[in-house]
Homo-oligomer: A and B are copies of this chain.
Amino acid sequence: MKIYKEKIDFKSTTQLEFVDLTDRVEDIVERSGIRQGQVLVFAQHTTLGIVINHNESMLLQDFMRVLYKFAPVDDQYSHDLFELRRDKKADGRSNGHSHCKALVTGVSETVPIEKGRMILSDIQSIFAVEFDGARKRDVVVQVTGE
């Protein structure tokens, strides 16, 4: 059993953004030398999601709209009432809505690998979904198998 890890660094440019990481994950799978197994894409963040879907620019607008409806940025979030929070690590960002969105997308995806490549269909892309940009971000890519 072989385990190989790399990080992907990127910079989001807007508050809500779908960043397509498919090619960079594919490169890491290739560098791992692993022919059969799995790749885990994991975000060490609480306002960034990892999802797999179709990279079609107008569809991405639809995703943003339904996620907005689920947790509108212009609602009131207790998390944003800094005066009342006892949490030492508050970073002063009004990002209650961002955490809520990340709750439903999840922070990881696992993709099977066969013959050295991810088993993804032509229209599947792996996205990091920025819910609280613009920011520098990184994502862990761990390949396991043989």
Residues of A within 8 A of B (CB): 1, 3, 5, 36-38, 40, 42, 44-46, 51-54, 56-59, 61-63, 66-67, 69-71, 77-79, 81, 84-87, 89-90, 96, 99-100, 102-112, 114, 119-124, 140, 142, 144-146
Interface majority SS (helix, strand, loop, mixed), chain A = mixed
* Copies of this chain, count: 3
Q: A37-B144, A96-B62 are in contact. Are A110 and B112 (CB under 8 A)?
A: no
Pick from B3, B107, B121: contact of A36, CB under 8 Å: B3
Q: A38-B40, A99-B63, A144-B37 are in contact. Are A85 and B58 (CB under 8 A)?
A: yes
Measured CB to CB, the closest approach of chain B to A120, in angstroms, equals: 7
Interchain Cβ contacts under 8 Å between A and B, 20 examples: A3-B36, A3-B145, A5-B112, A38-B142, A42-B110, A44-B119, A45-B121, A51-B103, A53-B103, A54-B99, A56-B85, A56-B87, A58-B85, A59-B78, A62-B100, A66-B100, A67-B103, A70-B70, A107-B124, A112-B142
